[in-house]
Amino acid sequence: MSSWRLVEDDPAPEAGPTSGAGPTSEATGPLGGRTERPRTGARRMLVVAATVLLTLIGAGGLAVAGTGMFAEKPEGCSKPDRSIQLYAVELPKDGTQIRLGYGLTPQTASYPGPLMEMMEGECLAITLHNQVSAETLAALRTDPAHPLGVSLHVHGVKYTQQSDGTVQSGSYVPPGESRTYTWYAQPRNNRTGAQGTAGYWWYHDHVVGGPHGTQGLSSGLFGGVVVRRPGDPKPDRTYTVVFGDRQSINLRRGAATDTCTEVNPQPGPSCLVARKGERVEFVVVGIGNDMHTFHLHGHSWADTRTGVISNNGQPFVDSIPIIDNKTLGPGDSFGVQVVAGDSVGPGHWMLHCHMQFHSDAGMSTMLHVLDENGNMPPGMDHQHGASTAGTAGTAGAASAPAAGGGQHQHN
Amino acid sequence: MSSWRLVEDDPAPEAGPTSGAGPTSEATGPLGGRTERPRTGARRMLVVAATVLLTLIGAGGLAVAGTGMFAEKPEGCSKPDRSIQLYAVELPKDGTQIRLGYGLTPQTASYPGPLMEMMEGECLAITLHNQVSAETLAALRTDPAHPLGVSLHVHGVKYTQQSDGTVQSGSYVPPGESRTYTWYAQPRNNRTGAQGTAGYWWYHDHVVGGPHGTQGLSSGLFGGVVVRRPGDPKPDRTYTVVFGDRQSINLRRGAATDTCTEVNPQPGPSCLVARKGERVEFVVVGIGNDMHTFHLHGHSWADTRTGVISNNGQPFVDSIPIIDNKTLGPGDSFGVQVVAGDSVGPGHWMLHCHMQFHSDAGMSTMLHVLDENGNMPPGMDHQHGASTAGTAGTAGAASAPAAGGGQHQHN
Amino acid sequence: MSSWRLVEDDPAPEAGPTSGAGPTSEATGPLGGRTERPRTGARRMLVVAATVLLTLIGAGGLAVAGTGMFAEKPEGCSKPDRSIQLYAVELPKDGTQIRLGYGLTPQTASYPGPLMEMMEGECLAITLHNQVSAETLAALRTDPAHPLGVSLHVHGVKYTQQSDGTVQSGSYVPPGESRTYTWYAQPRNNRTGAQGTAGYWWYHDHVVGGPHGTQGLSSGLFGGVVVRRPGDPKPDRTYTVVFGDRQSINLRRGAATDTCTEVNPQPGPSCLVARKGERVEFVVVGIGNDMHTFHLHGHSWADTRTGVISNNGQPFVDSIPIIDNKTLGPGDSFGVQVVAGDSVGPGHWMLHCHMQFHSDAGMSTMLHVLDENGNMPPGMDHQHGASTAGTAGTAGAASAPAAGGGQHQHN
């Protein structure tokens, strides 16, 4: 009898080179069905042979696998509505840490990668170009039998085995090659019972370094996904914040989690800024090995699909919790929507993990809420560095005031 | 004054052998009531005496305790609707690790134990027969004063102190003895405000090794419970998946989390299989000391009581999150319902903890979705072992292909 | 160009003493607005100078900062409806562990501090008097540049930067000084979309020991907050239970988590008691570095804003999970409401963290449910100590029975 998988401690008769013929073509199929597929002559190889084989596969053999009998596109998606080119590239090292990123162009790759926004009902084709060298990918694996490649695995939306982004489905991209992944934002359907895919999701590599892409994730191969439903509130600004282990928000450590400059700050992954009254959306994602909590000072949100309680002229639902702190584990993703400065006004509002040793180690940044004209009132703004610096050393450095702005006159 | 509990650092006058008489029968009761119970002559014993006493109790004394003044059955359950025999037995050791299991017969004991399904309103009597030897139970405790026994503690449904399954209530079973536990799936009641007990729960030992049953749990004494409400969606298949520390899903390590065979796979705790279109239900439970996340590829579910948004002809509720990854801590339990292969088709869909070091260590299995006829398309199925093997050694072994089925021709 | 914060690895031209003039007053403001504030002459100081400066600030300079340009009160709160005096004081040490507490009077300070109850729409002014000595606060910091003080940071309700309780906003209280914080329980507003602040929240120090108040929290400076909405269910009793790391519920270790006496037990932070039929409310809060789960035997609740499904004559919402175990991370807070003893009767119902190593270490207490007359039936009550004692040593001591009450006759 052939097994779907070889188990390490398989009894000798099955794992050995003389294990003989596979099941006949007449065998009763699983769950009472019948196996139509001819399996005559199936046999297993010795471990030593398999290892050699895998090395060959690692050089590119698996990539062509994605042309098998599993469907290429999810049901409901006969033709993609939109096509995107996505590049996986190596970024400058962070010390000795290899950094990879996804980008809509090789030049704009970053971590997190570009936000993917979809509407329910939309079908998206993403062609991933793997520009990460085999040498770099080899440096990130410990098992020489593990194949070299980069993939795109996505949460929440629909995709077939061809777009799973895993090793066992062969749906990854060897160095220098490309592969098209198809995502379908399946809509709700009262008739079929399909519950829809609107939500806050994320995408990531599932192959670099091992079968779960652990090294791809910790190197930077991840990004946010938002699927909206007609009628959903539209944010003025969206920020993706990712909590990983031994690292700060968005993988930036300590003080560098907040790189806003005082004058003309440019919103970006490490500069969260909004005007009072703007609707700000956070796509919050957990990666790695640790638990985290997302906490924002002065603002709260509804623990719902959209992060708000939409009323649409109807009374609010009364049972939904309003929260300002939410636990997330690796793989979790959720959305938060707040009206910047509502009731609380402009200011430097801390956004941090409430695990104390995480925030103390620098997992803390700021949402800088400007006034309606885009200015920061001259309150304590020159001071705020001290609270996010995280370490004694930077705390000292961060407190150097700018003269003239605030109410302190230190000289 | 007599205390409800002796505290280690009790002042000498209370803890000593000469602490004297207890409260009089006329003492004012707690919360303003009056203590009717005569307590004259109550006195405390020396620690040394208590230890001797506990040893005696451990030999069976406490088991008869369940005939006290606390009610035997929860209100609303005058007579059990159904009776079940349940056996706690010792299973073959897993290396040096003692394994215990619950079973409807001694021969069918397993971990997780049998799924207990109830309807709201139902009252269930479960007689637990402890067939685990005193020697084994003694080996699992570090404190010789801790009593020997096995119990049945359940989440969610109603029970009195007599069925709590704890040491302090005396509701456990010494070796060789039996005890009947009564569970009541209290229904919703708009009049009384009772909110109902429909949900996904679990049962476990609360006594083996210590007052929280930590050794009973880690040995395998746990199982899933589902309480349904009339009108709830009915699954075609139910799988119980339990996440514990230092162990993989369902306590099976590494590759052994998926023991499906390719031909005629038998659904079971370590072989998750369904046909496309079947409604699959997971009872997800966390045990032990660690956090985990439940993640399923290609499928998502509603974060509700049933794991679905039931419409019953009405529009879906719009605020409920649809998720494909959910964090669970020890003691948590929830239900997931998906339509196998909906939109995404057949395939080997990974089910794993998204904590990377857990999945890399083997906390990963597969939901094998067959086509409507019960067959697996001949895509990459011979390959999928590599992704769940977890370690370098097994990755090599798992890749040995079956000739003929897929598009790879390795020889 | 002046930065909002100095980053440790700023390039030399910006961080050096000769970095020159700041932006002109005509610089384009962030997000397209214009910076009105004159910044001419802004310059940065050497790290060595900044450290000296911070030491001076630590001596009291920052406390006057709260009179800057950020609003003093949140919008919607023109005048406080109520004023409270709150004292931060040092409590007796717990071994060598410094303990601090908040109290409505210095004499009644405790951890958790007093429960703050508000109605949506209410505006509350709390004047915090810091009676903790500079010497004690200095002993709790490792960075001599970190300022000395105590603060009041609150979750959920609205406050401006002046009431943020953080170092960078200058909103804390040096030793011997006072400061008034303004909290606004912003109500729902269908017109503006404000979602309301009704919920279960908490307050805590954000300054002691470091910029996230980690030492303030672990010393005891925290308490619960409940904001109610008209029509919310009114509990008969409210208990605040706080889960922290290396500590048991409410920071009390092992056996001391339950200090109820058998006769006339006084409800309090470590004596949870209720009569059958009473509505008991728990304000559950997570602090520190660890994950926990809140589990209560024999009782369950709705995972909603209030912990109940309110029907108000209408059918219950069917999709809401009923749970008896809920994971919480640091910073999380939620409410639980149960009807004591409903269906299950009186008894000693365990309340514990279900992380086994936490409960085994003593993170476990009891909800003692008396009968309707305020008495405990004479069942196994003399025995219950064994299950919460947590260690071998106390297990022996705790089992000493009181003669006469129960059904055991041990002599």
pLDDT band at B69 (very low <50, low <70, confident <90, very high): confident
Q: Please indicate, yes or no, whether residues A343 and A309 belong to a single structural domain of this protein.
A: yes
What integer pLDDT is reported at residue B188 of this predicted model? 92
Read off the amino acid at residue A365: T
Task: Return the closest-CA partner of residue B378 out of C1, C94, A67, A355.
Answer: A67
Mean pLDDT of chain C: 78
H or E stretch covering A243? strand A237-243
Task: Return the closest-CA partner of residue B292 out of B376, B221, B250, B352.
Answer: B352
- Has residue A256 got a pLDDT over 50? yes
pLDDT band at A43 (very low <50, low <70, confident <90, very high): very low
- Has residue B53 got a pLDDT over 90? no
B31-45, B202-216, C109-123: least confidently modelled range? B31-45
Task: Return the closest-CA partner of residue B77 out of B197, B174, B166, B177.
Answer: B197
Read off the amino acid at residue A406: G
Longest dimension (CA), chain A: 92
A406-410, B68-72, C143-147, C222-226: least confidently modelled range? A406-410
> Which residue of A lies nearest to B358 if distances are taken between CA atoms?
A289
pLDDT band at B406 (very low <50, low <70, confident <90, very high): very low
Query: Which pTM was predicted?
Result: 0.82
Q: Please indicate, yes or no, whether residues C167 and C186 belong to a single structural domain of this protein.
A: yes
> Rounded to 10 degrees, what is the CA torsion of C152, C158, C160, C162?
-20
Q: Do A293 and C70 touch (CB under 8 A)?
A: no
Window A:97-156, CB contacts with C under 8 Å: none
Are the CB atoms for A122 and A185 separated by under 8 Å? Answer: yes
Task: Return the closest-CA partner of residue C345 out of B50, B74, B373, A53.
Answer: B74
- Has residue B396 got a pLDDT over 80? no
List beta partners, residue C238: C281
- Has residue C179 got a pLDDT over 80? yes
List beta partners, residue B398: none
Are the CB atoms for C350 and C219 separated by under 8 Å? Answer: no
Q: Do C310 and A297 touch (CB under 8 A)?
A: no
Average pLDDT over residues C1-15: 31
- Has residue B145 got a pLDDT over 60? yes
Q: Is residue A344 part of a domain?
A: yes
Residues in chain B: 411
pLDDT band at C314 (very low <50, low <70, confident <90, very high): low
- Has residue A392 got a pLDDT over 80? no
Residues B236-272: pLDDT tens digits? 999 999 999 765 566 564 457 888 988 888 898 889 9
Q: Which of B211, B232, B253 is the last residue of a domain?
A: B232
CA distance C384 to C405: 13
Q: Do B156 and C275 touch (CB under 8 A)?
A: no
Q: How far is B269 from chain C (nearest CA, A)?
A: 24
Are the CB atoms for C87 and C110 separated by under 8 Å? Answer: no
What integer pLDDT is reported at residue B348 of this predicted model? 95
Q: Is residue B115 part of a domain?
A: yes
Name every residue whose Cβ is closer than 8 Å to that of residue C411 and which is 6 or more positions away in sequence: C403
Q: Which of C231, C254, C285 is the last residue of a domain?
A: C231
- Has residue A37 got a pLDDT over 70? no
Q: Please indicate, yes or no, whether residues B242 and B128 belong to a single structural domain of this protein.
A: no
- Has residue C51 got a pLDDT over 90? no
What integer pLDDT is reported at residue C313 of this predicted model? 58
What integer pLDDT is reported at residue A246 of this predicted model? 60
What integer pLDDT is reported at residue C378 of this predicted model? 80
H or E stretch covering A114? strand A113-119
Q: Do B319 and A330 touch (CB under 8 A)?
A: no
Q: Do C262 and B195 touch (CB under 8 A)?
A: no
B105-109, B392-396, C110-114: least confidently modelled range? B392-396
- Has residue A315 got a pLDDT over 60? yes
> Which residue of C lies nearest to A365 if distances are taken between CA atoms?
C5
CA distance C151 to C213: 9
What integer pLDDT is reported at residue A15 of this predicted model? 28
Q: Please indicate, yes or no, whether residues C255 and C367 belong to a single structural domain of this protein.
A: yes
Place of tokens 């021969």: B107
Residues B340-376: pLDDT tens digits? 999 999 999 999 999 999 999 889 999 999 999 999 9
Residues B185-212: pLDDT tens digits? 999 988 888 999 999 999 999 999 999 9
What integer pLDDT is reported at residue B258 of this predicted model? 87
Q: Please indicate, yes or no, whether residues C206 and C301 belong to a single structural domain of this protein.
A: no
- Chain centroid to Cα B88, Å, comes to 14
Mean pLDDT of chain A: 78
Q: Which of C231, C257, C272 is the last residue of a domain?
A: C231
What integer pLDDT is reported at residue B246 of this predicted model? 61
Q: Do B374 and A145 touch (CB under 8 A)?
A: no
Q: Do B259 and A7 touch (CB under 8 A)?
A: yes
- Has residue A282 got a pLDDT over 70? yes
- Has residue C304 got a pLDDT over 90? yes
H or E stretch covering C14? helix C12-15
Q: Please indicate, yes or no, whether residues A250 and A222 belong to a single structural domain of this protein.
A: no
Q: Is residue A5 part of a domain?
A: no
Kindly report the CATH number assigned to the domain that includes residue C100. Answer: 2.60.40.420
Name every residue whose Cβ is closer than 8 Å to that of residue C306 and which is 6 or more positions away in sequence: A319, C232, C233, C335, C337
pLDDT band at B385 (very low <50, low <70, confident <90, very high): very low
List beta partners, residue A327: A293
Are the CB atoms for A259 and A253 separated by under 8 Å? Answer: no
For chains A and C, CB pairs below 8 A equal: 336
What integer pLDDT is reported at residue C286 of this predicted model? 97
Mean pLDDT of chain B: 78
Name every residue whose Cβ is closer than 8 Å to that of residue B153 and which is 6 or more positions away in sequence: B164, B165, B166, B203, B204, B205, B206, B213, C297
pLDDT band at C2 (very low <50, low <70, confident <90, very high): very low
Task: Return the closest-CA partner of residue C285 out of C328, C338, C336.
Answer: C328
Q: Please indicate, yes or no, whether residues A383 and A285 belong to a single structural domain of this protein.
A: yes
Average pLDDT over residues A100-122: 96
Q: Is residue A46 part of a domain?
A: yes
Query: A300 touching B, CB under 8 A?
Result: no
Phi, psi of C331 (to 5 degrees): 95, -20
> What's the token pair of residue B339?
């339509």
What integer pLDDT is reported at residue C251 of this predicted model? 57
> What's the token pair of residue C178?
């006072």
Percent of chain C with pLDDT over 70: 72
Q: Is residue B12 part of a domain?
A: no
Average pLDDT over residues C161-168: 97
Are the CB atoms for C27 and A264 separated by under 8 Å? Answer: yes
Structural domains counted in chain C: 2
Residues C343-371: pLDDT tens digits? 999 999 999 999 999 999 889 999 999 99
CA distance A212 to B361: 10
Are the CB atoms for A198 and B321 separated by under 8 Å? Answer: no
Instruction: Tell me the Ramachandran region of residue C360: left when phi exceeds 0, alpha when psi lies from -120 to 50, beta otherwise.
Output: alpha
Half-sphere exposure at residue B290, Cβ-oriented, CA atoms within 13 angstroms: 20
- Has residue A10 got a pLDDT over 70? no
Residues B19-40: pLDDT tens digits? 333 333 333 334 544 333 333 3
> What's the token pair of residue A380?
């304590």
Residues B279-335: pLDDT tens digits? 999 999 999 999 999 999 999 999 999 998 876 656 677 889 999 999 999 999 999
Average pLDDT over residues A238-246: 88
Average pLDDT over residues C315-334: 92
Window C:273-292, CB contacts with A under 8 Å: 287-289, 291
Window C:381-410, CB contacts with A under 8 Å: none
What integer pLDDT is reported at residue B250 of this predicted model? 66
- Has residue A140 got a pLDDT over 90? yes
- Has residue A12 got a pLDDT over 80? no
CA distance A53 to B403: 13
Q: Please indicate, yes or no, whether residues A193 and A278 belong to a single structural domain of this protein.
A: no
- Residue A29, domain extent: 12-67
Instruction: Tell me the Ramachandran region of residue C68: left when phi exceeds 0, alpha when psi lies from -120 to 50, beta otherwise.
Output: beta
CA distance B30 to B250: 45
Query: C54 touching B, CB under 8 A?
Result: no
Of B3, B49, B328, nearest to C262 by CB-CB distance is: B3
Q: What is the DSSP string of A23-77?
A: --TTPBPGGG-B--S--TT-----HHHHHHHHHHHHTTGGGGGGGSSS-SS-TT-
What integer pLDDT is reported at residue C58 of this predicted model? 31
Measured CA to CA in angstroms, residue B374 lies from A4, A301, B258, B391 at distances of 15, 46, 18, 31
Q: Please indicate, yes or no, whether residues B134 and B205 belong to a single structural domain of this protein.
A: yes
Q: What is the pairing mode between strands A82-94 and A123-130? A: parallel
CA distance B171 to B149: 10
- Has residue A367 got a pLDDT over 70? yes
Q: Please indicate, yes or no, whether residues A263 and A178 belong to a single structural domain of this protein.
A: no
Which of residues B405 and C111 earns the better pLDDT score? Answer: C111
Q: Please indicate, yes or no, whether residues A270 and A380 belong to a single structural domain of this protein.
A: yes
> Which residue of A lies nearest to B374 if distances are taken between CA atoms?
A33
Q: Please indicate, yes or no, whether residues A251 and A367 belong to a single structural domain of this protein.
A: yes
What integer pLDDT is reported at residue B25 of this predicted model? 31
Residue A134: count other Cβ atoms within 10 Å of its Cβ.
Answer: 16
What integer pLDDT is reported at residue A27 of this predicted model? 33
Measured CA to CA in angstroms, residue B201 lies from B111, B155, B333, B341 at distances of 16, 6, 6, 26
Residues A162-172: pLDDT tens digits? 999 999 999 99
pLDDT band at C29 (very low <50, low <70, confident <90, very high): very low
Q: Do C345 and B70 touch (CB under 8 A)?
A: yes
Q: What angle do CA A383, A385, A387 make, to 5 degrees?
A: 100
Which of residues A2 and C195 earns the better pLDDT score? Answer: C195
What integer pLDDT is reported at residue A379 of this predicted model? 63
Average pLDDT over residues B141-152: 96
> Which chain C positions have a beta carbon within 8 Å of B210's beta carbon?
360
> What's the token pair of residue B177?
């003895």
> Rounded to 10 degrees, what is the CA torsion of C47, C48, C53, C54?
70
Q: Is residue A3 part of a domain?
A: no
Q: Is residue B407 part of a domain?
A: no
ipTM (interface predicted TM): 0.80
Q: Is residue C35 part of a domain?
A: no
Of C22, C161, C289, nearest to A402 by CB-CB distance is: C22
Task: Return the closest-CA partner of residue C333 out of C204, C201, C199, C197.
Answer: C201
Read off the amino acid at residue C355: M
Measured CA to CA in angstroms, residue B79 lies from B83, B90, B194, C186, C379 at distances of 10, 32, 20, 51, 22
pLDDT band at A97 (very low <50, low <70, confident <90, very high): confident
Place of tokens 């399904």: B117
